[in-house]
Structure 1
Amino acid sequence: MKIIILGLACLFTGVLSNAQDPDYTGPAKVPVKGFWDGAAKLEKSMAGGGSSMDADNLSNLQRKIADIKKRDAAYNTGEMELKFKTLSEGIEGLKKKHGAAIQANRDKTLNMQNVDKILRSLFHISTQVDRGGLKTIKEVIESYRNRTNEVMAMDKSTNKNDLERYRVALKGNFKVAENDIYELDRRCREQTDPANAEVNYYEVLYKQAFWDAAQKIYPAEPDFATAYATATKVIEGLGSVTDVHAIASKSREQKIKDTRLPAAVVKDPALEKMFVDAFNTQYKEEFKGTAIKAVVLSNEWGIERNELTGIVTGRVRRGSIVYKGTNGKCYLTSNFFIHQEYVGNSFMNTKSVYVVMGSQEMLCEHVK
């Protein structure tokens, strides 16, 4: 019995050995050769980085294994199945590698676009501030600083052209940067309206953030650091918004004390009365005050003529008015014009012409 079992085992081993023999000539000869030829080509393709046909070629190998089993059930396909598994894992690895490379390229492109977008938002803007923007200017400047910090943490190596373009533009801006900052400082200190002073103050703050971004992104450009230092020095000198309001209030008080009637070019009580009467007739209600003094600021009447015929149609005279408001305070209107129509052989219908552009408070004791 033992001899029979041993003989069968030897026979089975011989069959398996023949099935895996490279010189196999059995009924599955063609698909066997096709499998190994296909596997070799697929390995070569994968070694070169793979192609879009690899997945189809892998499926073809799987079909060949199935075909071999049908043609020769005794053939041992274990080595083929192991090769198929190895190739399958290799293709999956390449797929992940390619996917990672594609994603990395997308991320790189997206980062480049985002950097350019932020650079544009930092340097392709106006730092001018107006009264209408005072409500949101703090948030605007804070957002600007946040974008600066954001772009500083980003990879800018693929944005060399963008960086160079903005660097050149900033070099041009620097030529007037310091003068602009000092001019804003002067205006801020001379303002008599706290809101207008605040506009100048926040514009300096905005410029400070602007040049801070420039010096951080371009550390090799000393001019940008100089502009930032200038803005910082001005801000430190002005102090806080509260300090700026106090400066404006002090300037306003000083301007009220310093304001005087301009010197009269002509002294003519009758003519001066025309100015006073014209103001009180037309603007008493609007300005809530009564004119108490006028001075004449032009030597003579400016004659008006018809453009086509040259016939005299009227005349204009310039003066300055002081009116006393219902609040008991005095105000100077620097430029006040009266006009008379020429009718028949005389001038008549005296009235104010042109828009009255506001007034400046002054001490009533200086109205002489």
Structure 2
Amino acid sequence: MRKEFKIFILAMFLMGCAIVNKAQPTKKGDDIVLSPADESSPAKGQIKTFWKNIKKLEEMPKEKYNTMGSYVQAAQTAINNIKMKDKNYNTASLEAELKKWQGQHEKQQTVIVDQRHMLVETSGSLSRLFDRSNDKALKYRGNKPEEFEKCNKEIAEYKNDLAQFLAMEKDPRVMKDSASTIKSITIRYFSNLDEEIKGYEENLKFYTLVNSLKGYIQEITIHETYIDAARQVYPNNTTFANGYKKMKELTSKISKINLETFTKENKTRLLKEARMPAAITSDPAIEQEFKIAFGKLGFAGEKIIKVNLTKHDWLVNRNEWTSIIENRTRKAAVAVKKADGSCQIYVMEIGQQYLGGSSYGASETVRFSDYPILCENVK
């Protein structure tokens, strides 16, 4: 009986120790005041360190939660040290307290990862939408049917990407602090918009081939697509809203054009308006050089009827770095009559390679452009 009583007393003592171990310390200013039992533990320094880190976590404002990991780790290290320093110390209450903060830390880490992902995704999406140098940037592809189709497909994909961006959760920091992005968009798509729209309207008058006109309209559509995206991404930006309104007025007009009729009317009007560039000097020897160079182009059935020199003299071209003469060039307008009796103007530039001294090589065509003209207007 006496032996059983001793065992009972010992068990009660151990339970009391465990209960004492579970008692949280009191906080006095910046200091931690341990219970008498904890003060008597060989690990009292480590116990105090643990509760100091818990105190830091309790006092931490929510906006600083991204730094809580260091305190959680320090508290865990303190528990490990307590176990080594005092093998009889019951750390259950400390581990329960730490587990609460570990869970909080894991949640915060998830939030941080999500925020970083959102930041990267928002920034990356904005770059893909408005940076004309990336692989997904919209580009004019050419005048062939398959090239039109490819460009239209890319425009549709771009609009789908835009819709996904508008629907996704965006990082508010990126959207709020977007002055540099807005400035870049403004410079690229809006700074000269009035002049560009005027230029678009003027240039439309010079297209005489349907496919070429289609290609030019597609270029205008690409510009409108970017402007529309800017307006939707930044709905409070009045520059973007007004720019889109102006661009939409232009594309609405274009959509009503009958391309066949429009190009035929352009061709008729341009033919009537076409004039040969006037001669500003005359030199039979130089005119002969243009005739020789034109003959090398191999346009069969086209007979030269007039050459107008549009520059007084040769332009001598030197190497940018050494200043050594490389060649000389000269410009003229060459009128020809074709086999069908119609006339054509070739605006030509010929060049001669420098051979040394005062010598130059044979004349060759450097570049030319051409347009039809009524024969009676060749003067």
TM-score (norm 1): 0.62
1:264 is displaced (CA, Å) by: 5.6
Deviations 1:82-108 (Å, cap 9, x if unpaired)? x95x98777655444322210111111
Instruction: Name 1:345's counterpart in structure 2.
Output: none
Q: Is the 8 A contact 2:72 2:102 kept in 1?
A: no
Out of 171, 176, 188, the position equivalent to 1:156 is 171
- Judged with a 3 Å threshold, the aligned counterparts in structure 2 of structure 1 residues 59 and 277 are, in CA distance, closer, same or farther, namely closer
1:111 is displaced (CA, Å) by: 0.6
Q: Is the 8 A contact 2:305 2:335 kept in 1?
A: yes
Out of 201, 207, 211, the position equivalent to 1:185 is 201
1:113 is displaced (CA, Å) by: 1.9
Deviations 1:60-88 (Å, cap 9, x if unpaired)? 89xx99x89xxxxxxxxxxx9xx95x987
Instruction: Name 1:137's counterpart in structure 2.
Output: 151
1:180 is displaced (CA, Å) by: 1.6
Instruction: Name 1:236's counterpart in structure 2.
Output: 252
- Judged with a 3 Å threshold, the aligned counterparts in structure 2 of structure 1 residues 257 and 237 are, in CA distance, closer, same or farther, namely same
Following the alignment from structure 2 to structure 1, what is the Cα–Cα distance between the partners of residues 269 and 313? 36
Q: Secondary structure at the match of 1:237?
A: helix
Deviations 1:135-171 (Å, cap 9, x if unpaired)? 5433443343333333323233122564122234445
Q: Secondary structure at the match of 2:173?
A: coil
Q: Secondary structure at the match of 2:224?
A: helix
Unaligned runs of 5+ in 1: 1-7, 20-24, 69-79, 308-314, 340-348
Following the alignment from structure 2 to structure 1, what is the Cα–Cα distance between the partners of residues 197 and 156? 20
Out of 281, 303, 314, the position equivalent to 1:291 is 303
Instruction: Name 1:147's counterpart in structure 2.
Output: 161
Equivalent residues in 2 for 1:1-368 (5 A)? 19=8, 25-26=9-10, 29=13, 32=15, 34-41=17-24, 48=57, 51-52=72-73, 53-54=75-76, 57=79, 94-125=101-132, 129-131=139-141, 136-153=150-167, 154-159=169-174, 162-172=177-187, 174-239=190-255, 243-244=258-259, 247-262=262-277, 274=288, 278=292, 281-283=295-297, 285=298, 287-297=299-309, 302=313, 319-325=332-338, 330-335=343-348, 352-363=363-374
Following the alignment from structure 2 to structure 1, what is the Cα–Cα distance between the partners of residues 371 and 215? 20
Q: CA RMSD in A?
A: 5.0
Following the alignment from structure 1 to structure 2, what is the Cα–Cα distance between the partners of residues 139 and 320? 42
Q: Is the 8 A contact 2:291 2:304 kept in 1?
A: no
Q: Is the 8 A contact 1:275 1:321 kept in 2?
A: no
Following the alignment from structure 2 to structure 1, what is the Cα–Cα distance between the partners of residues 265 and 80? 87
Q: After the TM superposition, which of the residue ranges 120-129 and 99-108 deviates more from structure 2? A: 120-129
Unaligned runs of 5+ in 2: 25-46, 59-70, 319-327, 353-359
Letter in 2 for 1:215: R
1:36 is displaced (CA, Å) by: 3.2
User: Considering only CA atoms, is the larger Rg found in Structure 1 or Structure 2?
Assistant: 1
Q: Secondary structure at the match of 2:302?
A: strand
- Judged with a 3 Å threshold, the aligned counterparts in structure 2 of structure 1 residues 87 and 132 are, in CA distance, closer, same or farther, namely farther
- Judged with a 3 Å threshold, the aligned counterparts in structure 2 of structure 1 residues 108 and 195 are, in CA distance, closer, same or farther, namely same
